[in-house]
Structure 1
Amino acid sequence: MISEATMEEKRSAWRVLGLALSNRKTGFMLLFGFASGLPFALFLGTLYAWLTEAKVELETMGVFSLIGLAYAFQFLWSPLIDKVDIAGFRRLGRRKQWIVPAQLLIGIILLLLSFSHPSNENIGWFSLLAGIGALASATQDIAINAWRIDVADEEATIDILSTIYQMGYRLAALVGGAFGLIIAARIGWPSTYMVMGAILVAIGIVGLWAPDNDARKGSREGVLDDELLDLRKAGELEPAIRWRALAIVALLWAGAIGGVLTFMFMSLTYAPANRPNPIDFTVNWGPWIIVATVVVPALVAGWLAAQKHGGKHLLAEDAPPSTGAAYVFDHLYRALLLPLIEFVGRLGWSLVLIISLVLTYRICDAIWGTFAYPFYLGELGYTNDEVAFASKFFGVGAIILGLAIGGYMLTVLGRMLTLTIGALLAALTNLLYADLAIGGARMLALSDAIGFTWAIEQLPGGSAKLAKLTLTIGFENLAIGVAGAAFIAWLSSIVSKQYSAVQYALLSSLTLLIGTLGRGALGEMIENQGYYDVFVLTTQIGFIAVFLCLVEWARVARRDRRSGSASLAVQ
């Protein structure tokens, strides 16, 4: 028999889930998730189909790969979202002042694109519009991720908000991707982008009524000056020490931003034969940009935190308010270094574990994703229609179902257990692809046994061959949904609400690093050894993430025990 305590725990979990889903914050989170995913699909996916139909040259299309840089290096301007108010919009709220204008700007750009006709002659104007739209989209993503962390509470928990965000994002990918292609074939590309632009403008207007934890209705200068005065209280680091550290970090950030801008300028102005390759830039310079803007600043922040903890280079008494150049330096210090100092000071050496987990958790699908279509179409011989059905329609549905399961598991099982299970499932699904690589006999047998083959064969163009691919993608995407829900919730839980935009943007950018760097080596391995060995290897790599999850689970448990003991001592 099930004990009464167990039944009460289950009822409590369902009650928590019900309260979270009925909260207005959850509704806006779904809307914002959709608004975040739609531009990404339209600028980095569907737009290429429009350019292809307009007979734009492939070399000219290469300019559009620059758009992806806005998403890859969005952390470079994340300090602005945390510390800068937009004149005329700051009364909307700390995050909404960025979210709403960005959504309106993206919508307007989509509308402008709908009145443009891409061609080899006017591709410069078209590229400029798309580039500005991608920049606004990446900025919106930073602000929305920070909003999710800021507004989370005991009712609309960070776990549920993170899951709902991803559901909205995945729905938008379906609407902007597969659905966009379908309606474009019927009403044309200009009308399709006009509809999508109107949707973004409408979301921006509705977003005016979203809640925000920090309305900042007082004086902008008053709010910021109070924060700057805290830096000059007795017991804080001496300004000279802070400014030396700031000089190092500011030079590194300026160099990184300058490198990205130089690359973009060369790509837009040089002749096609002399343009730098975006993939080479990301692979060769991306790691150094991360080192310059994350690794070295984190070491500097750690040194500053150690100095303060050790009582060195501290103000003996309150210093006068900063003015002139000192005022500017204090602003920059607060924007660039304080988020890292808080992070390092709060987590200490545990930050090494956290970064290791961030780098490895999504490594399986991050590395493998680039080679999915060559595997389906080239190695296995599926058609475009079969792959579209299995990966876009059935696959997206499986991800959304996985997110729903992941959200429920977070509520019932807890964050760390769900995180660990998600890592294990994501690793094991690589073995399903390994089976496909050697013929897929086991997947076909499973499909036959559960009646899935029969169901697929009833569809137009359905076959046993399509059934085993669809089932494999379905299982993988279910695992991705569970793992994604847990990972985003965990990532959101370890950042500070005070510096959520910068800290989350930095961590999320690291999730792309290993995948980007590993693709070249993986491609060479595929050429030399074939897909089967690659899938076995990615499974083994996935087990590293499972091990790190267990270590992180133990760390969180120790922290919670210490917090509980401290609370009892105070009582």
Structure 2
Amino acid sequence: MVARNKGLRGTRTIMTDAITGTNSWLTAVKPYFRPMPFVSLLIGISSGFPLMLLLGTMGYWLSKVGIQKSTIGFAIGLTTPYALKWLWAPLVDKLPLPIFTKLFGQRRAWLFFVQALLFVSIWLLGSSDPANNLGYFALCAIMVSFLGATQDIIIDAYRIEILTDEEMPYGTATNQFGYRLGAFFSGVGTIFLYSPETGFGLGWEMAYGLTAFLVLPGALGALWAGPGTYIDRHGRLAGQRTGAWLKETVLNPFIEFLGRRGSVLILLFVLLYKVGDAMGQGMLNPMIVDLGFSDGEFIAINKVVGFWGLIVGTALAAPFILWLGMGRSLFVSGLMMMFSNLGFVILAMHGHSTLWLTIAVATEQVTSGIGLTVFVTYLSGLSSLAYTATQFALLSSFAAVGRTWLAAPAGIAAEAFGWVGFWLMTVVAAVPGMVLLWILWQKGFVVESVRQPSTEDD
């Protein structure tokens, strides 16, 4: 196992020198504007928008047409492909696409192919009619989910491969900013395009269709950045039997990861860390509709307060890691995300209050911007370069299981306990993840990370 702490220590030294120098501020922010962190921003936009169409915008749409909260909660299950993407990640990681792989490289060939299919599937989802044909709507949503999850496999691997150790905290921060920017465009932007009240009034089909063009930033960024540092072990095994190829492609990434100390505890932590946050996010838009907020109020508060909260939180993430270290950063940001849900408890108690919606959204965006960037930086550091796509897919899939199925009963809980009781429950639901983090931290597993160029002997 090769520790990646050296890279983080080097970055910490750079940041320390920056703070004490005469041009400290410019030196501190300069790494954000390097080419590869900027490319991470672009591919993050394309990565972030499909899931928000399913988790956020879809919930708003279903609430508008009168679908019950319990049904909306379980509609989160339509994002199951995000929890299962580790199953086909080995093929995306190692299987070349005829012609395209030679032209663009492994990562970009898969990216362009999947993005074309994703574009079409989002148009089909927007043209569906959930009020009258919920089955077809669900089928289209699963298609978008499968292709969005596959795009994430590619983008996550590509991001890790194009960033150096020194760029990793900054590139992860810009990627998370791009991810949440894409989520913002597909959440608030799609509703604005749809809304006859405050937006263009284009309807859901055209709104979803125009949102599908958010695949373009990722495609353009990948064209600019080049093929990356993908380690092609497939070609070296091409002359061997099929069994050897399958072992290298499918089994070895999992064997390598599970052979590490603390791997089971790490996976349990990844599974539970974001459960409370996911439960809240899945039911936030239905609550906003239920409390009587107009499209205009929803758009204005999310557009102004939410957007700037996102910028502040994501920008603070890299200095946050360098200041506190990975273990403390995970713990402090986890507590911040957990207690930020108390803002929605107060909102639920007040009912229709634009003041408390503003406060709650601002707090949630800042804390999530910090917390999720720290979390993804940690997961990125655990992915070996020899099996980047598969191992990051494994880790992010465990996080998606927590978001998808452990959070799916959120709608039933909202109906049973009311909005105040529901949001209090989301705070309690975050406790097991924090306890596991404490155990990992005490055992010294939090700082373990690898970035191996290969698992072969030289």
Q: TM-score range by the shorter chain?
A: 0.7 to 0.9
Indicate yes or no: 2:34 matched with 1:23.
Answer: yes
Equivalent of 1:207, from 211, 219, 222?
Answer: 222
Give the equivalent residue in structure 2 for 1:352.
Answer: 264
Residue 518 of structure 1: how far off its partner (Å): 4.1
The aligned amino acid for 2:365 is: N
Distance, in Å, in 2 between the alignment partners of 1:36 and 1:514 is: 19
1:420–1:546 contact (8 Å) kept in structure 2: yes
Equivalent position of 1:421 in the other structure = 332
Aligned partner of 1:87 in structure 2 is 98
CA RMSD of aligned residues (A): 4.2
Paired residue type of 1:149: I
**Distance across 2 between alignment mates of 1:84 and 1:90:** 9
Cα distance between partner residues in 2 of 1:537 and 1:118? 33
TM-score by length of 1: 0.62
Q: Who is 2:256 aligned against?
A: 342
8 Å CA contact 2:15, 2:322 repeated in 1: no
Which structure 2 residues correspond to residues 176-325 of structure 1 after superposition, within 5 A?
176-184=186-194, 185=196, 186=200, 188-189=202-203, 192=207, 195-198=210-213, 200-201=215-216, 203-214=218-229, 223-224=233-234, 226-227=236-237, 322=240
**Match of residue 19 from structure 2:** 10
Q: Which has the higher contact order (CA 8 A, sep 6+)?
A: 2
1:466-490 Cα shifts (integer Å, max 9, x gaps): 1122112211221111111111111
What is the identity, as a one-letter code, of the residue corresponding to 1:363? Answer: V
> Structure 1's 519 and 36: CA in aligned 2 closer, same or farther, altered over 3 A?
closer
Counterpart mapping for 1:48-127 below 5 A = 68-91=79-102, 92-107=104-119
- Give SS of 2:227's match: coil
Match of 1:369 in 2: 281
- Tell me the amino acid that sits aligned with residue 376 of structure 2: I
Looking at structure 1, the residues matched to 323 and 173 of structure 2 have their Cα atoms a distance apart, in angstroms, of 14
3-state SS, counterpart of residue 106 of structure 2? coil
Task: Show the counterpart of 1:488.
Answer: 376
How far has the Cα of 1:557 moved from its partner? 7.8
Report the Cα distance in structure 2 between the residues aligned to 1:202 and 1:166, rounded to whole angstroms: 14
Write the letter of the residue equivalent to 1:18. V
Paired amino acid for 1:353 = L
Given residue 494 of structure 1, which amino acid in structure 2 is its aligned partner?
A: L
* In structure 2, C-alpha distance between the alignment counterparts of 1:359 and 1:202, rounded to whole Å: 30
Q: Which SS does the other structure have where 1:512 is aligned?
A: helix
Structure 1 contact 10–412 (Cα < 8 Å) conserved: no
Contact 1:93 1:214 in 2 (8 A): no
Deviations 1:71-123 (A, max 9, x none): 34222211111221111122323322211222244345557889x79799999
Mapped to 2, the partners of 1:57 and 1:437 lie a distance apart of 20
Of residues 157, 174, 179, the one that matches 1:164 is 174
| Corresponding residue SS for 1:95 | helix
- Return closer, same or farther for 1:7/1:339 CA change in 2, 3 Å cut-off: closer
The alpha-carbon distance between structure 1 residues 177 and 502, as it changes in their structure 2 partners (threshold 3 A), is: same
State whether residues 428 and 539 of structure 1, in contact with CA within 8 Å, keep that contact through their aligned partners in structure 2.
yes
Paired with 2:243 and 2:154, the residues of 1 have a C-alpha distance of 24
Deviation at residue 34 of structure 1 after TM alignment: 0.8
In the alignment, the residues of structure 2 paired with residue 151 and residue 336 of structure 1 have an alpha-carbon distance, to the nearest angstrom, of 23
Is residue 147 of structure 1 aligned with residue 147 of structure 2? no
Match of 2:184 in 1: 174
Whole-angstrom distance in 2 between the partners of 1:56 and 1:535: 22
Aligned amino acid, residue 396 of structure 2: S
Structure-2 change in CA distance of 1:546 and 1:16 (3 Å)? farther
| Distance in structure 2 (CA, Å) of the matches to 1:524 and 1:51 | 16
In the alignment, the residues of structure 2 paired with residue 507 and residue 399 of structure 1 have an alpha-carbon distance, to the nearest angstrom, of: 24
What are the superposed Cα offsets for residues 508-554 of structure 1, whole Å, 9 maximum, x if unpaired? 12223344444476666655655555544543443443343344344
Helix, strand or coil at the partner of 2:167: coil
Letter of the 1:358 partner, please give it.
Answer: V
For 2:79 and 2:134, locate their aligned partners in 1 and report how far apart those are by CA, in whole Å: 17
- AA aligned opposite 1:500: T
Partner residue, 2:452 = none
- Displacement, 1:170? 1.6
Q: Output aligned runs, 1:461-540, within 5 Å.
A: 465-519=353-407, 531-540=419-428
The answer to whether the 8 A contact 2:269-2:433 is kept is yes
**What is the CA–CA distance in structure 2 between the aligned matches of 1:553 and 1:210, rounded to whole Å?**
36
Which residue matches 2:312?
401
- Which residues of structure 2 form unaligned runs of 5+? 1-13, 449-458
**Whole-Å Cα distance in 2 between the matches of residues 113 and 436 of structure 1?**
32
| Count of paired positions | 424
After superposition, what is the alpha-carbon deviation per residue over 1:151-185, rounded to whole angstroms, capped at 9, x for unaligned?
2213422x222221121122222222322333345
Query: C-alpha distance in 2, partners of 1:177/1:544?
Result: 29
382 and 195 in structure 1: CA distance in 2 versus 1, 3 angstrom threshold:
closer
> Against the structure 1 CA distance between its residues 17 and 382, is the aligned structure 2 distance closer, same or farther, given a 3 Å change threshold?
same
Q: Which residue of 2 aligns with 1:330?
A: 244
Could you list the runs of 5+ residues in structure 1 that have no partner in the other structure? 229-320, 441-462, 561-571
Do 1:395 and 1:477's aligned partners in 2 also have CA atoms closer than 8 Å? Answer: yes
CA distance in 2, matches of 1:123, 1:424: 38
User: Is contact 2:106-2:227 (8 Å) kept?
Assistant: yes
Q: What is the distance in 2 between the residues matched to 1:175 and 1:6?
A: 32
Alpha-carbon separation, structure 2, partners of 1:131 and 1:370: 17
**Structure 1 residue 388: Cα displacement:** 4.4
SS at match of 2:228: coil
**Displacement, 1:504?**
1.4
* SS of match in other structure, 1:424: helix
How far 1:370 sits from its partner (Å)?
3.2
Q: Counterparts of 1:78 and 1:503 in 2: how far apart (Å)?
A: 8
Amino acid paired to 2:187: G
* Identity over aligned pairs, percent: 26
